[in-house]
Amino acid sequence: MLYLLILLLASSVLAKNYTERLIVGHFPAEFAFGVASSTYQVEGAWDADGKGRSIWDVFAHQPGHIKDGSTGDVSDDQYHKFKEDVQHLKWLGVTHYRLSIAWTRLLPDGTINNINQKGIDHYNAVIDELFNNNIVPFVTLFHWDLPQGLQDYGGWENDTIIEHYKNYADLCFKSFGDRVTNWITFNEPFITSWMGHETGINAPGIKDVDAEYRTAHNLIRSHVKAYRHYDQRYKTAQMGRVGITLDTEWKEPRTESPADLAASNRAMVFRLGWFANPIVYGDYPKIMKDKLAERSKIQGHAGSRLPTFTAAEIAENKGALDFLGINHYSTNFVQSTTSDKTKPGFFNDQDVAYISTNKYAWGLRKLLNYIKTTYGNIDVYITENGAADCGTNEDQVRVDYVKRYLNAVLQAIQDGCPVKGYFVWSLLDSFEWNSGYTVKMGLFRVDFSRPDLPRYPKTSAYFYQSICKEKGFTQSILDFRAFAKDRDEFVYGQFPAGFMWGLATAAYQVEGAWNEDGKGPSIWDDFAHQSGRIANGDTGDVACDSYHKYKEDVQMLKHVGVTFYRFSIAWSRVLPDGTLGSLNSKGIDYYNRLIDELLANNITPFVTLYHWDLPSALQKQGGWLNESIIDRYNDYAKLCFENFGDRVKLWLTFNEAYVISWLGHGIGIFAPGIKSPGTGVYQVAHNIIRSHVKAYHSYDTLFRSRFNGKVGITLDIEWKEPFTMSSDDGYAAERALQFKLGWFANAIFGNGDYPSVMKQYVAAKSKSQHLLKSRLPEFTDDEKRMNAGSYDFLGINHYTTNLVSDVPNTDSTPSYERDQDIETREDPCWEKTPVDWLRVNPWGIRKLLNYIKSRYGNPTVYITESGRPDVDGVDDQGRISYYKSYTNELMKAINIDGCNVKGYTGWSLMDNLEWSSGYSLRFGVYYVNFTDPARPRTPRKSVDFLRNLFSNNGFYKQ
């Protein structure tokens, strides 16, 4: 009669519909806010200080069991770093921490005959550290890591395990029970039974369709034995409580038909009731017993595959818990089916079809109401709940998940469900069992690439911190987001009328003809001819042979439908030794022909004066380190203005001044290969800025009235996103922007001087290095006045985003990089490309443009390079996706945010010599066959995409 009443009540919950909504409200005063972890997943130190091997130590070391081939040997090394992690818990503001004890750390072979005092000492230290920081330990005795010594004797399938487990539990109660008052005997016995003993995808890797029921039977008996032992021997003195954690999805009927409602109830009974019914009511659920008895008989078994409890065991089982832990992550949609009765297996035994699984928070509310109606007013703790992702810091998915599910818990409490606490899974990114480290579930990111395994709070950590502080949900907490809601949304629309579309190349990368028709050598000619400088020994001697094939290139541009073509002039082709005295008319003629060919095809020439290829003769005089370069550059610029300015209306003085300074003169990996990271790098930049300013004013004074063109400079910059939400990382990200973009932009687009933060930091570092003055040069007052406003537009080369954290650098060696006290990295969730430095992150370009708008007064901007390398062949879907997403974010920046952007340039027109990478990277929308002397070009699929984008001037719904 009782069973029928329970079934009726449970069915009413199954049929009840809950809408998912969020409410403002607070939890009861004593509600436990916690986070969880487990020993094997976080501790590491797998064989340290006398610890024995567990089944997971053995399983993970066997090839093929773990997705990424990893193990938990080190994991988060919480064994040594527990004090640090307790401080993370304290920072979060949690009241409780759910941790597990490694059986093999206390009892290396699993038996009481071999006690390891160092293991006991370790957990005493952990528990004391928690107590000292006002955090309540919530301890799991068994989280899947059975001693291998016991597995060798049959493990959970051997009845002797029950006494071994009781002895282990007794040792824990005796050693830690004076401070631990919340005990979980087992975590997810379903997983141990089914995944460990039927499917074998978890340790110990047993594949036996009957073993799961035998295993579960002994797990239940072990729980009851430990519970009764605590109740009789320790409870009065220690005043603790003992429960068990069961895992279950909510089983939602696909329809409200009686058959599907019955299937839903059957699925709940097989999963939750399998363990909950014996512990609450003494025996297995009737549905389970009947189903398995019927199936076992058909399958030829003498008795049921489901073991039987004796009358004494049923009496002992009943009520053997003080609370119920629930691990819940998702909802299954199920329907009734008739499975093959001759086929044994846990899921086949149910006559239930599992249709789909979804992350519906109302499923948790339904589950809690189901538990209340099915098992009475047992105290419930949500002992695990959380979301997996690829490890991003701005983990909006996790924020939304915890927000929705914990809010559903609050609503369940308002329904009258006796829920006493909630634990997020998990504190740290860790070893996620057979997935290894391929998924991340932590509130804290762990950098597994570093030996010290540093932890960093994700956005979800800040979010959960606010919940713990408020003890519930305010409207501001409900509105909390890691990033703007529209950040990743694709929008349809058009760019402003007159928006310019182009593709780009650079002289040394495409022209070839390095020593033809009077051209002089450049520093890149020299650099590439030195052994070991360029990948595969490549050079730009021939490159794409655009010197001879420029007409074909123009037809390629016309086919794509560009508005303009951004190319560069080779200084040493028009002035072989860099000075006016060496004027080469054939070089002038070449660029005249190229410009005329472009105009004849209605393509605007967008000309870069200097794209890194300084004449070698000037380098011998000191190059950019010698102030004389300023006048030499100005002479060259005026020559170009005079010869081409009647047709060229868009000029760039320099491409990526940062690269010239740092890569060419700081670390020396680009031409001219000079390594002067502390001083030379700054002097070069100083002279580049002065050269730009002089050339700009030369154009303004001598040519603007004649030609009415515009002069700008191209600066390269990644968006610098704070690594965490800390103010220190926020300041570091701003500092990074100032040290890279502001280094050049502040003088030209700002107040005429270097950024104040740059001056302060370099001066302080220089002083600490016992230098008499800052390594950063100074502009005179006259220079500052000339610098400020020396532009008509700003060119921006943008490819990717960096995450930036504040890391004070104690190395006293002078260096531009170390001057900044920052560290940069990439988000693991951003799409990878063939180069480590370029991850795909479209929203960075929108943030960057808004930063430029606010910092520099919304100047006219052209995106003068943007793109990514992709496959050798023509099906470059990665490049198409890149251009689509980046230009869409660009359109948002213009149309929604009001950023003054006038054009976009894809890098590049064709595959070319990618500097020190040679021809190993392919950025082109046209494929170039470099093994063929004719250098044939073939359009990639991205050409068609760009043709459509350019002709539509935006995005239309199909």
The rounded distance, in Å, linking the Cα atoms of 736 and 731 is 9
Residue 720's CB is within 10 A of a number of other CB atoms, namely 26
Alpha helices in 750-788 (DSSP H): 756-768, 781-787
Nearest C-alpha neighbor of 25 from the set 461, 478, 363:
478
| CA distances from residue 644 to 475, 518, 529, 558 in whole angstroms, order as listed | 62, 19, 31, 21
Nearest C-alpha neighbor of 304 from the set 317, 314, 290:
290
Nearest C-alpha neighbor of 76 from the set 439, 423, 450:
450
Classify residue 773 by its DSSP letter: S
Q: Residue 398: which residues within 8 A CB-CB, separation 6 or more?
A: 386, 387, 389, 443, 458, 459, 460
**Exposed, middle or buried, 917 (CB in 10 Å: 0-12/13-18/19+)?**
middle
Nearest C-alpha neighbor of 950 from the set 501, 554, 606:
501
Contact status, residue 248 vs residue 268, Cβ threshold 8 Å: yes
Pairing of strands 241-247, 331-336: unpaired
- 3-state percent helix, strand, coil for the chain, nearest multiple of 5: 45, 15, 40
In 229-318 the beta strands, taken as DSSP E runs, fall at 241-247, 250-253
SS3 122: helix
Pairing of strands 455-457, 136-142: unpaired
Written as six digits, the tokens of 655 are 């491409």
The rounded distance, in Å, linking the Cα atoms of 12 and 8 is 6
Instruction: Give backbone dihedrals phi and psi of 702, rounded to 5 degrees, phi first.
Output: -100, -25
Whether cis (ω within 30° of 0) applies to the bond prior to 755 is no
The rounded distance, in Å, linking the Cα atoms of 257 and 886 is 49
The rounded distance, in Å, linking the Cα atoms of 167 and 163 is 6
470 catalytic per annotation: no
The one catalytic residue in 43, 188, 384, 721 is 384
Q: How does DSSP assign 6-68, residue by residue? A: HHHHHHHHHH---------EE--TTPEEEEE--HHHH---TTSTTPPPBHHHHHHHSTTSSTT
| CA distances from residue 549 to 356, 727, 915, 935 in whole angstroms, order as listed | 58, 54, 21, 9
In 337-400 the beta strands, taken as DSSP E runs, fall at 352-358, 380-384
The rounded distance, in Å, linking the Cα atoms of 725 and 213 is 48
Exposure on the CB side of residue 67, measured as CA atoms within 13 A: 9
Written as six digits, the tokens of 466 are 């606010």
Q: How does DSSP assign 163-197, residue by residue? A: HHHHHHHHHHHHHHTTT--EEEEEE-HHHHHHHHH
Q: How many H helices and E strands in the chain?
A: 37, 30
Written as six digits, the tokens of 329 are 């992550």
The rounded distance, in Å, linking the Cα atoms of 531 and 528 is 8
Q: Point out the residues that are catalytic.
A: 384
